[in-house]
Structure 1
Amino acid sequence: MHVPDGFLDAPTSVATGAVAVAAVGISLWGARRELDDRTAPMAGLVATFVFAAQMINFPVGAGTSGHLMGGALAAVLVGPWTAVLCLTVVLLVQGLLMADGGITALGTNITLIGIVTVAVGWGVFVVLRRLLPTRLSVVAPAAAVGALVSVPAAALVFTALFAVGGQAPVDLGAVVTAMLGWHTVIGIGEAVVTGLVVSSVVASRPDLVHGARPLVARRELETRKVEVA
């Protein structure tokens, strides 16, 4: 999913760069409501894990490989605003120090991996959390489904950007088929990893999982009511 330099034209790259800057600015404000002295270290751990996980590629067939994007995972663990900041830091380090994704395409990569996957993954997670029974056991499956949907969603947004400003001599229909097809498969791997990680953290420290906070608070309230009764 990392877009290289020159794959999109200058106006499209500038536009996605503006979107990325605006999103990071808003996220800096929003993250203050998600983090405190107890949960702030979690953001560093999440960024480190996503960075390391993105270095590991898994085969998906026909010589193609995929890697964790981490948007839904980060959003559920530390909150959507903080997740955008975590993914932005990861992409900055990858682009500037490891040549993973182009410098001029940095805004595009932040938009796709750091914004779209977070927004879609978190949105799907919140909807499922409201629809499913109010138990901690639903957090991991809901996060996994959010991760599954977020990956092809990012691929679809990339396809739209390519349709507007693509510079590679590739038929748009072929781009749509390849991006959505392979990224749906990659999304399955993303869902498995996200579900396992979130499940492990929820099992040990549910109070540190941002997406589980409403359920933890509800459980504590019900416990207090039982004690009072």
Structure 2
Amino acid sequence: METTAERRVLVVEDERAIADAVAARLRAEGFLVQIVGDGPSAVEAARRIPPDVIVLDVMLPGFDGLEVCRRIQAERPTPVLMLTARGEETDLLVGLAVGADDYMAKPFSMRELAARVHALLRRVNKVAAPKAGPPTLRFGDLEINQAERRVLRGGAEKHLTPTEFDLLVHLARAPRTVLPRERLLADVWGWADASGTRTVDSHIKGLRRKLGADLIRTVHGVGYALEVDR
């Protein structure tokens, strides 16, 4: 497991009982935790002492968690785990579109939340490591620059979230190969179980919206494949 020494988590939650419970669990895991309870305070706290991970509620005073995520990601890419009481598909897709990496609906287990925070940190460490293979992957009009983390289709640059980029690269390294959701969760998100298949599905929807519906094929009950010529 990655070290948590000096790893900072910003918990943004206006329900104090939930915030305290989340903070207590993460501190027990060895993280340094700061709590704020509204949108403007969250943006200011992230600027003052940049966190390694943000646990962010959607419904907040001032402005909501989606706006918090949008503003923070515009300044500095930061792993974000969003929390919601609603669990609506629209909220999920909007949250992913503004840069959230993961999503949990209330009520949730503190054990699972801590596991997801650890998984986000593992992904950050993996992204920082040198990439194997060619620096640029090309399939027809699709170009994926791994070194610069840029994607072009038809010559136009497409702005992907960090998680969308990692998922696309993973699919692109095995074109036309169907990768099960469980494998994608393990390899891209670092999850050891299959409890987050909806997260995979939502990120796939985000990729299709930005890159075109023809690019990724669904194999129902199994997973996804990048539908390009080798």
Q: Same fold (TM over 0.5)?
A: no
Structure with a larger share of its residues in strand: 2
Structure with a larger share of its residues in helix: 1
If asked which structure has higher relative contact order (CA below 8 Å, sep 6+), I would say 1
TM-score, normalization by structure 1: 0.32
TM-score, normalization by structure 2: 0.32
